[in-house]
Every structure is written in structure tokens, then in C-alpha cells.
Amino acid sequence: GEWSGDAIHRRFLEFYAAHGHKILPSSSLVPDDPTLFLTIAGMLQFKPIFLSKEPRRVPCATTSQKCIRTNDIENVGRTARHQTFFEMLGNFSFGDYFKKEATAWACELATKEYGLPAERLWISVFEDDNEAFDIWHNEVGVPKERIKRMGAEDNFWTSGATGPCGPCSEIYYDFYPERGSSDADLGDDSRFIEFYNLVFMQYNKRDDGSLEPLKQKNIDTGMGLERMARILQKVPNNYETDLIFPIIEKAASMAMVSYAKTDDATKTNLKIIGDHMRAVVYLISDGVIPSNIGRGYVVRRLIRRVVRIGRLIGIRGDGHGNSGGALLPSLAETLERGEKLLDELLDEALLSAGNNGDKPSLSGKDVFLLYDTYGFPVEITAEIASEQGVTVDIEGFDIEMENQRKQSQAAHNVVKLSVGNETEIVKSILDTEFLGYDSLSASAIVKG
């Protein structure tokens, strides 16, 4: 029979529960850790245990963790396997079992529980990790030609610049085993998909980059629910699984198009809507409210993008037909006014560049005006501008932001000091630090 996303999720947790793991709830998308922006993996809630800052409550655990990876936003709808929001199923050992058990169970789960043919599974190990190579080959029985040694970029997992980390081993599924193994490349995503990562968490990465052995050897794993659903439901990408497709179908019907019959660009846009709507709903339900700063800015950017793309593919909020704008009417209106201004600014930029022989570009002041008055995230402005071959002056925008930050901070400090409310001052300073983070990441994204 067909595997629903829900059945895949349940089978994972039940399998590890049957092997002595305690089923624990997902933690919030907002990590309980000021150094982290959003929850990117299942291990975050266990970080203090890995670092021995907290005692373990159980020897081993299993979870289904809600995750957001904003670094994958450009991949959404463009690769078959990336969303910003996804569910990561994981099993964790806190100094209990290590490589042998983790490896054997992962293989048993994939082949016996989910029924994947063993000959379609490929393995990557960290280049120096002979122990993992030998376990896969001698104990699990994977032929040598299907075990690849890879470098640190793929096979040494760290949750951030510092913190618990270690070599990892990943399981890939082969959609085309008939192509053989002679020149197989696990990086070829038209043939392979990485679905399960086993991290042998045994180091703490210090500030200076050096690796300190942890007190005990841990296991941290992550299996992407949508990726496993894609494999088991035999659909061409994560978006066409039962986990996301209903949202896409709803959006398609609002735009009065058929997903199956529409062109690729519209399909990509529908996938982006499918992903971003999920991300927005889960972020808001974890208490992240759209705003100009920090995490709230992520929500805002995602909503803006959904509204913009929705309009692009024909979802109208004008009261005729299926009204997408009914979802967010005032937002759609502000966006419309902002778009008019942006259109004018783009026309001007194109015209004056044509006259001077320069490259067309929007000034930092203009980008800031759109941001400040119409709530246009920089990335959205850059995205629309680039459709017309116009670049945006991100440095100029950062300067405008910085000026505003200084002004508002000065204002805050005056007011708050006069009432002597220290927590408010701390909050305003914290908020402004987040602004810096966003404008930095914005320039990184646009320039990269």
C-alpha cells in the first residue's frame, strides 16, 4: 500500500521506541538558545546534554522535529528536495549506543520497515572514518563500491560555528540503479537523494576552531520526512507528496490553473507557495509574529513572497472569482501600492542608465524607502529588480538602515532612561542587534 507522510512519521518513532528510545516532543522553532536564530535540526534541544551541561534524562530518545532552514530559501521549488520548513525525524544516544547500533538500525529501518531495496542504498562516510566504512561493509554488508568517502563539507556535521559536532555518515537512495556504479556521483541529484544523516557526535568545536573530545560519544541523526515520503510515494519531488501537495492544489485552484498542465515557472511558484505557507503557519504558531526584525522578519519576508507570487500566478484579491486577497486584504493593498512605486523607480533606473550607459541600479535610499514605507524586504525588491535586469545598492541600503537604527536607538534611550525602565532599554538594544544581522544576511544573499 501507499505510505502517507503520517504513517512514515509514526513508523519511525515506533521503530526506535521498540529499540528502547523514549519518544519526546518536537521543540519549538524558536530555540531556547540566544546564539541560535531558528531550529535547523533535531539535535538542538539536546545540545546541553551533548555538552554535559545538563544530565541526560534518558539514555536515548527519538523525535520528530519541526525545522526551518532559511539558507535553503533559494532552493525552494528549484531543487526537488529542499524546503525552508521540513520535519526531521531523529534518534539520539547520549553516551549510550554508538556507530554500530546506529548504522544497523538505520539500515534495518530503511529496508525492513520502509521496504526500500537494499541494492538502492548508497552510503557516504567521512574520508578518515575507516571504522564507519568497515561497519557498513563488514557488518551491514554494503558492497564497497556503494560506500563513498567524502570530505568535511558533506560528512563532518556541525550545528553552527561552535558546539557539538562530529563525522557523519549518510544514506542515499538511488532512483536509477540500472546506471551502475562505475561513475556514480552521490552529488548528482537527478539520480540520488540524501535522506538520512547519522552524526557521530563526539567533539565540541571551540571558538578557535579546535576540536575538544566530548565526555561521551553520542549519536544524533536526521531523516527528512518529506524526502522519505517522496521516495515511498514515488513522486518526482518533495512538493508532490501528501505533506505539501494539498496546499499547492488549493493555491492552483485559487489561481484557476491546473498544476499538472501549467508551465514549469508556475509550478515552481506553486511549490514556493506550498513551502512558505507551511513555514509561516508553523512559525506563527510558535509565537513568531511578522515584524521588521529578527525572526519576525523571516515570517514577514515569507508572507510577502507568498502574496507577491500569488498575484504573479493570477490569484486576485479584487472580489472577482476566487479571491486570494481575501486571505490578506490590507497586505495585498499595501503591496500593490509599493509595487507601483517600485515600477516607477525601476523605469527611472532603466531610463537614466540608458542615457548614461551605466548599469541600471536602484539606490540604497530607494530600497530603504520601499522597505520603510511599504514593508518590502530587501530580498523581494532585489528579486523583482533582477527580473528587469536592475541591481540594487545593498551597501547603500545598509547605511540607511544603520542611520535609522542610530536615530531610533537614541530616541529609545532618551525616553526609556527618563522612566528608568532597564528591561525596555535592553530589549531595544537587542532588537537593533537583530536588525544588523538581517541587513548583513540580506547583502550576503543578494550578492552571493
Query: Which positions touch ligand ATP (CB under 6 A)?
Result: 69, 72, 81-83, 86, 88, 194-197, 222-224, 226-227
Q: What are phi and psi of 157, to 5 degrees?
A: -95, 130
C-beta closer to Mg ion: residue 152 or 426: 152
Can you say whether the dihedral through the CA atoms of 70, 74, 79, 80 is positive or negative?
A: positive
Scanning 161-263, the segments in alpha helix (DSSP H) are 225-232, 245-254
146 binds, among ligand ATP, Mg ion, none (CB under 5 to 8 A by kind): none
Nearest distance, CB of residue 87 and ligand ATP, angstroms: 8
Distance (Å, whole) CA 20 – CA 62:
10
Closer to ligand ATP by Cβ: residue 187 or 246? 187
Nearer to ligand ATP, 81 or 267 (CB): 81
The residue nearest ligand ATP at its CB is: 224
* SS (HEC) of 19-62: CCCEECCCCCCCCCCCCCCCCCCHHHHHHHHHCCCCCCCCCEEE
Helix (H) and strand (E) counts in the chain: 14, 11
User: DSSP code of 360?
Assistant: P
Supply the minimum distance, in Å, between the C-beta of residue 86 and Mg ion.
Answer: 11
Percent helix, strand and coil across the chain, each to the nearest 5: 50, 20, 30
Closest approach of ligand ATP to the CB of residue 72, in Å: 4
Other C-beta atoms within 10 Å of 246: how many?
Answer: 11
**CA-based R_g, the chain, Å:** 24
**CB-based contact 38:68 (threshold 8 Å):** yes
Compute the least distance from the CB of residue 230 to Mg ion, in Å: 16
The residue (of 227 and 316) whose beta carbon lies closer to ligand ATP is 227
Q: Decide which of Mg ion, ligand ATP, none touches 227; Cβ closer than 5 to 8 Å per partner kind.
A: ligand ATP
Q: Grid coordinates representing 352? A: 537614466
Nearest-approach distance from CB 428 to Mg ion, in angstroms: 35
CB of 394 to ligand ATP, least distance (A): 25
Q: Is the Cβ of residue 175 or residue 399 nearer to ligand ATP in the bound state?
A: 175
- Binding partner of 129, given Mg ion, ligand ATP, none, CB within 5-8 angstroms per partner class: none
Question: Smallest distance from the beta carbon of 139 to ligand ATP, in angstroms?
Answer: 22
202 binds, among Mg ion, ligand ATP, none (CB under 5 to 8 A by kind): none
Binding flags for Mg ion, 179-198, as an x/- string (CB under 5 A):
---------------x--x-
Query: Which of the choices Mg ion, ligand ATP, none does residue 226 contact, using the CB cut-off of 5 to 8 A by kind?
Result: ligand ATP
Q: Which of 21, 106, 108, 109 is nearest to 60 (CA)?
A: 21
Residue 83 interacts with which of Mg ion, ligand ATP, none, CB < 5 to 8 Å by class: ligand ATP
Closer residue to Mg ion in complex, CB, 12/195: 195
The owner of cell 547605511 is 399
* C-beta of residue 225 within 8 angstroms of C-beta of residue 89: yes
Which of Mg ion, ligand ATP, none sits in contact with 88, Cβ below 5 to 8 A by type?
ligand ATP
User: Shortest Cβ distance from residue 161 to Mg ion (Å)?
Assistant: 17
Phi, psi of 68 (to 5 degrees): -130, 130
Binding-site size for Mg ion (CB under 5 A) equals 2
Q: Which is nearer to ligand ATP, 62 or 197 (CB)?
A: 197
Please answer whether residues 300 and 377 qualify as being in contact, where contact means their C-beta atoms are separated by less than 8 angstroms: yes
Answer for the pair 433, 413: CB distance below 8 angstroms, yes or no.
no
